[in-house]
């Protein structure tokens, strides 16, 4: 990464996954001295009990001119209660509740605060309804020009092992940059894998290995011991998942161009498959071209 993390946006819906995402965002903010902006949205999947309690509380404070304001403020207070369970001393944290669609509210906040990273939980990614309608995480990976960290409820942070998948694109170069920055900050083990076509010859794999080593000679990896791997397989996502599982990765970093139909690692729907099936948290980075155009 060419610049340090200054502002982090967190999508929060009171689920266990989003609580873990908030905890990870606070830990990253403490490491990088970044500001944190927590966004919760009523159209999201807020726990019905929490929403009902907030509505009852808001009833006593309702303003006839702005009937939604009391409910939004009540939800913000409840987010603040969650924040008190975390070590947020000396951190710059803001909380905002919105009536806007969750992914839109998060991206609007990212634009307003010049965000460097969006952090969300992986809630709903395996549910058929969310798969059909599109979860917040899916929409962000699709549309967001900012890097998106999708946190599993069982996520381990800081990550002891980071795995990064590379296809030599600009998107995957940015993913390697993020992986290098995080690995440096937390002294994590780091491996970079390239999946060659199953038809690749021994010479072609050797050439890919040399290219991978050159690809990893970037500033973010200077001084880091990086394990470089070239493997083969017809299904790129399965090979990457097998590698991450074998290495017991706590974080998987990939690049995505994010065009219509979520195209990850430039070809096919690899990013979306990885997002739904990754055994660990997933960071998706966008190429410079996508960032500049969006």
State the virtual CA torsion across 14, 89, 114, 294 in degrees, nearest 10: -30
State the pLDDT at residue 66. Answer: 47
State the pLDDT at residue 155. Answer: 81
State the pLDDT at residue 7. Answer: 97
| Secondary structure element (H or E) that encloses residue 134, with its range | none
State the pLDDT at residue 52. Answer: 67
CA distance 226 to 234: 25
Peptide bond into 158 cis (omega under 30): yes
**Averages of pLDDT over each 10 residues, the chain, 294 residues:** 78 91 96 96 68 64 60 89 95 94 94 96 56 67 90 90 93 91 92 93 94 83 81 88 94 77 46 81 83 51
Q: Dihedral of CA 44/45/48/54: which sign? A: negative
Q: How many CB atoms lie within 10 A of CB 64?
A: 5
Q: At what angle do helices 67-83 and 48-59 cross, to 10 degrees?
A: 130
Measured in degrees and rounded to the nearest 5, phi and psi for residue 212 equal: -65, -40
Could you give the count of Cα atoms lying within 13 Å of 74 in the half-sphere of its Cβ? 19
- Domains of the chain, start order: 7-151 (3.40.50.620), 161-293 (3.40.50.620)
pTM for this predicted structure: 0.87
Reduced to 3 states (helix: H, G, I; strand: E, B; else coil), residue 143 is helix
Q: Tell me which residue has tokens 């973010």.
A: 220
Strands 147-151, 281-285: pairing kind:
antiparallel
State the pLDDT at residue 110. Answer: 97
State the pLDDT at residue 130. Answer: 43
State the pLDDT at residue 265. Answer: 45
State the pLDDT at residue 138. Answer: 84
CA distance 197 to 7: 39
CA distance 225 to 9: 30
């Amino acid at each position: 990464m060419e610049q340090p993390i200054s502002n982090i946006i967190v999508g929060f819906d009171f689920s266990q996954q989003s609580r873990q995402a908030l905890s990870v965002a606070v830990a990253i903010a403490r490491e990088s001295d970044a500001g944190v902006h927590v966004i919760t949205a009523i159209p999201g999947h807020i726990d019905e009990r929490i929403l009902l309690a907030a509505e009852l509380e808001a009833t006593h404070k309702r303003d006839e001119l702005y009937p939604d304001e009391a409910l939004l403020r009540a939800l913000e207070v409840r987010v603040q209660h969650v924040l008190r369970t975390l070590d947020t001393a000396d951190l710059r944290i803001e909380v905002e509740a919105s009536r806007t669609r969750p992914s839109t509210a998060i991206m609007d906040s990212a634009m307003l605060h010049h965000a460097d990273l969006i952090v969300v939980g992986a809630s709903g990614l395996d549910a058929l309804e969310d798969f059909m309608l599109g979860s917040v995480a899916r929409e962000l990976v699709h549309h967001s020009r900012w890097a998106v960290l999708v946190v599993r409820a069982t996520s381990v942070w800081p990550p002891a092992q980071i795995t990064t998948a590379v296809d030599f694109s600009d998107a995957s170069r940015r993913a390697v940059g993020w992986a290098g920055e995080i690995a440096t900050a937390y002294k994590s083990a780091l491996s970079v894998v390239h999946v060659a076509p199953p038809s690749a010859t021994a010479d072609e794999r050797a050439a890919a290995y040399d290219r991978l080593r050159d690809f990893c000679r970037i500033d973010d990896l200077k001084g880091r011991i990086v394990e470089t791997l070239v493997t083969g397989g017809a299904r790129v996502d399965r090979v990457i998942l097998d590698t991450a599982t074998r290495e017991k990765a706590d974080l998987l970093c990939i690049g995505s161009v994010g065009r219509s139909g979520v195209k990850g690692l430039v070809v096919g729907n690899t990013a979306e498959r990885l997002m739904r099936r990754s055994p660990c948290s997933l960071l998706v980075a966008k190429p410079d071209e996508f960032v500049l155009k969006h």
